[in-house]
Structure 1
Amino acid sequence: MPVDHIPKPSDGAVTGGFIALYTLAQIGAFVAFIPMLNLLLPLKAEAVDLSGKAVLLSQVMVIGAVVAGFANLAAGVLSDGTRGPWGRRRPWIAGGAVAVAATHGLVYLADGLWSLIAAVVAFQIALNLMFGPLNAVLADRVPDHQKGTVSALQGLALPTAGLFSAVVLAIALGGLAERFLITALAVPLLVLPFALLVPDHSEAGLPATRPRFSLGVLTDRDFRLAFTSRLLVQVSITLNVLYLLFYLQDVATLPSASGATAETAFGWLMTAGTLGGLIFGFIGGILSDRTRRRRVLVMSGGVLMAVGAGLMVAQPVWPGPLLAQIVFGIGLGLYSTVDIALVAEVLPDRSSAGRDLGVMNLAITVPQIAAPLIGLGVLLAFGGELRWVFAISAVFAFVGAIAVMGIRRVR
């Protein structure tokens, strides 16, 4: 039964059924790209070029991120202007979910630099055609007094995807083909129920004019500060995601008695950090609705991420990396969850929510370009010493955390 057939609360709040399916769809969207970035693509780069894996990974990530930025902005503009029986967002969400599954197969089959680049480009286009319109649903459909609660559940998507990557892919499964297949199947299974069962009436009452490509929303001071904060923190996140496995292989001293490999240690670190992020992210989202003080919670999350990245520099001997990733994960869960609600409130115009969130998404995709370049520059400057990459990560997280406190429209 379509979720909108469930009686609606009189205050305009979204229903429990809507929230449940939307949360599952968000988890599916994050499962689409978190395992790809932190495990599948690094392992594929290693399989294609063992000796040059870090450089190859950086090259592929930069090109893919450029494509992702344009694709997400295009998806936002296109879905803002889409009209029809399926509404503005649903056609793009459903079609993108199926395409993401197919492009996982392309990445797996790639056997060289150019085929891997082509596969990642196709993957990023499919991902962002799904992800941009899905993110716009929060601004379209959820009233302000529920944004923190829905964001608390939506914020579970990132750490849950990390848990999927750590437990299912890194620990439970051993073959690269199995890892790609399970991920490809999980995405449409989680995303399509929302796209198929929840009617989209977000275009009701909006002007018939179609939004255009524009970066004009960056002239809004509060939006610009939220963008800057997310941009800086995402550089920190991307550096941690990209180089954690290589850090465990080449820098960390793992417990010799346990016989742990870098991949299994990666799985356990991701699991520990994810569990911390799940708990604190959920609590933070609920508190941000009840207190309506989102900025200080976002700032606290960014500061904790900076502390965690700093511990990676200072304590490479076990259990230092474990403690570092727990602290980083707690900060990431808190920051990412509450920041979702903060950004949804900062948007100046509902009719162009998809486009403006596409602009905001540049704060995620630009770091996917910048972070590999920064990481590569640091590695070249410091003789391949990975600990300096995490030192830079700590600086970006801290500055990004402080930036959010200048926002005025949201407390």
Structure 2
Amino acid sequence: MTAEAGHRGRQRTRFLLLYALAVAGGSIAYAPLLTLLLPGRIMDLASDAGVSWIAYLTFAGAICASIANIAFGWASDLTGGRRGYIWAGLVLSGGLLVAMPYATGFMQLLILICCWQIALNMMLGPLFAWAGDCVPDRQKGLLGGLLSVAPALGALSGAIVTFSGFAAVLDGFGARLIAVALMVAGCVMPVLLFGRPKHIAALEPHAVRGARSAVPPQRKQIVVRMWLARLLVQICEAALFAYALLWFASIDPSLDERGTAQVLSAVLIVAVPLALFTGRWIDRRDRPILPLAVCALVAAAGLALMALAQSPAQAIASYVLFGVPAAAFLSLHTSQTLRVLPDPARRGRDMGVFNLTNSGPSLVMPWLVLTLVPLFGFSGLLALLAMLCGAAALLLATAPRVAPAPYAPVQVAPEQA
């Protein structure tokens, strides 16, 4: 059997499901903390300086996350193993998360957030690269659909830890973070213990002949366009990720952290079937770029309507129009990125470079918010974000079709037990 045929082989469904659950654990690790729990904690500690604290902590954390994701992804390439880094990152990030309540000043929070981001990306960098080692192109659409469960569970975990019914059990900031750490461990550990992916030799680095020299200019153009498009969408996502609570409150003060968490959860849950359906369509039609362009265009329309929202109903409806396609875009984009990476021997490093589109916007977004919101309000910010999302749609809509990578004829190894 040729490598191309092996590349078209299928990975075990069990591994795909457990892997998606592990990625969801990564979302649970940061979504409740950065969206709800940490902003609430900062507002208690800093009061009027809360917005500035969030901006500076987000900026510093994003720098640490960017460097750590590339470094540990590249290290897992060089050592030829992913699991050890994932285990270490899981343990360290969980411990630092539980220690967060002991930070009561700005510098203490800054140090803890930076260390936590480094530990978390020790886990996430190799985890994302692991999919490239195991999942063939014909299942990457399905993988992207399954990955849409990750942000949904991340938001759902935020709704759980802020739900009033759990107040007696999860009393206070520290108890909620312990619950988050336990949920993360429960999601990540199963794939490490029971995943047992089938070995597909055509996905091994040596299966690609002259990977660097064989990449045509057209394919390089796709890589650049996909990177830029994700960066633009992530700037929009990052702005609302950090400031959704404040934006909803500016429309209606009764929309508190619990109400915001419920809206975020509902949007991301609705995005799951959309991403699954679209991912299966991508696998059948082998058209990975077109659905991404459509999702970005609809998300841009949602942002434009958010800029015009005047009532709670309008705010929630327009956020749904943005959030559902944006969530589907990001999960599908993650899996399709693995199709276009130029060097299979450096999947961890290259996924870390693509991860700059996740963490990089956090370096830009705080200054956009601090510059635009005082002058034009959230409406001016949202109008700019709508234009950025529209530009992402244009980049992808005009991109050439993805060509398959060149594979050398090698034999497919037998399945691993």
Bin for the TM-score computed over the shorter chain: 0.7 to 0.9
1:41 maps to which residue?
38
Shift of 1:345: 0.8
Residues 125-147 of structure 1, C-alpha deviations (whole Å, 9 max, x = no match) = 01111111111122111111111
Q: Against the structure 1 CA distance between its residues 292 and 168, is the aligned structure 2 distance closer, same or farther, given a 3 Å change threshold?
A: farther
Q: Against the structure 1 CA distance between its residues 11 and 346, is the aligned structure 2 distance closer, same or farther, given a 3 Å change threshold?
A: closer
Matched, 1:329 2:323: yes
1:232 maps to which residue?
232
Q: Which amino acid aligns with 2:350?
A: D
Give the counterpart of 2:332 among 322, 332, 338.
338
Shift of 1:362: 0.7
User: Percent of pairs identical after alignment?
Assistant: 27
Query: Quick one: distance in 2 between partners of 1:155 and 1:274?
Result: 8
Give the counterpart of 2:120 among 115, 127, 136.
127
Give the counterpart of 1:408 among 395, 400, 404.
400
Q: Which amino acid aligns with 2:101?
A: Y
1:6 maps to which residue?
none
Q: Which amino acid aligns with 1:337?
A: S
Q: Against the structure 1 CA distance between its residues 370 and 30, is the aligned structure 2 distance closer, same or farther, given a 3 Å change threshold?
A: same
Residues 350-377 of structure 1, C-alpha deviations (whole Å, 9 max, x = no match) = 1111111111111111101111111111
Aligned pairs for 1:157-306 (under 5 A) are: 157-170=150-163, 172-174=165-167, 175-199=172-196, 206=205, 220-249=220-249, 251-253=250-252, 260-306=254-300
Judge conservation of contact 1:63–1:121 (CA < 8 Å) in 2: yes
Which secondary structure state, in structure 2, belongs to the residue aligned with residue 13 of structure 1? coil
Shift of 1:230: 0.6
Alpha carbon RMSD of aligned pairs, Å? Answer: 2.5
Bigger mean CA deviation after superposition, 390-399 or 163-172: 163-172
Q: Which amino acid aligns with 1:386?
A: F
Judge conservation of contact 1:25–1:194 (CA < 8 Å) in 2: yes
Shift of 1:237: 0.1
Which secondary structure state, in structure 1, belongs to the residue aligned with residue 189 of structure 2? helix
Q: Which runs of 5+ in 2 are unaligned?
A: 1-5, 207-214, 404-417
Residues 251-291 of structure 1, C-alpha deviations (whole Å, 9 max, x = no match) = 2136xxxxx44223212321331222122122221211122
Judge conservation of contact 1:228–1:400 (CA < 8 Å) in 2: yes
Residues 199-238 of structure 1, C-alpha deviations (whole Å, 9 max, x = no match) = 576899546xxxxxxxx99993221111101111100000
Bigger mean CA deviation after superposition, 267-276 or 292-301: 267-276
1:388 maps to which residue?
380
Judge conservation of contact 2:140–2:283 (CA < 8 Å) in 1: yes
Shift of 1:165: 1.5
1:320 maps to which residue?
314
Count of aligned pairs: 383
Q: Which amino acid aligns with 1:137?
A: W
1:152 maps to which residue?
145
Query: Quick one: distance in 2 between partners of 1:197 and 1:272?
Result: 30
Which secondary structure state, in structure 2, belongs to the residue aligned with residue 386 of structure 1? helix
Q: Against the structure 1 CA distance between its residues 220 and 108, is the aligned structure 2 distance closer, same or farther, given a 3 Å change threshold?
A: farther
Query: Quick one: distance in 1 between partners of 2:164 and 2:293?
Result: 33
Judge conservation of contact 1:244–1:266 (CA < 8 Å) in 2: yes
Q: Which amino acid aligns with 1:273?
A: V
Q: Against the structure 1 CA distance between its residues 271 and 199, is the aligned structure 2 distance closer, same or farther, given a 3 Å change threshold?
A: closer
Q: Which amino acid aligns with 1:151?
A: G
Query: Quick one: distance in 2 between partners of 1:387 and 1:265?
Result: 21
Q: Which runs of 5+ in 1 are unaligned?
A: 1-8, 208-215, 255-259
Query: Quick one: distance in 2 between partners of 1:121 and 1:217?
Result: 39
With normalisation by structure 1, the TM-score equals 0.87
Query: Quick one: distance in 2 between partners of 1:410 and 1:217?
Result: 11
Q: Against the structure 1 CA distance between its residues 339 and 141, is the aligned structure 2 distance closer, same or farther, given a 3 Å change threshold?
A: same
1:61 maps to which residue?
58
Shift of 1:173: 4.1
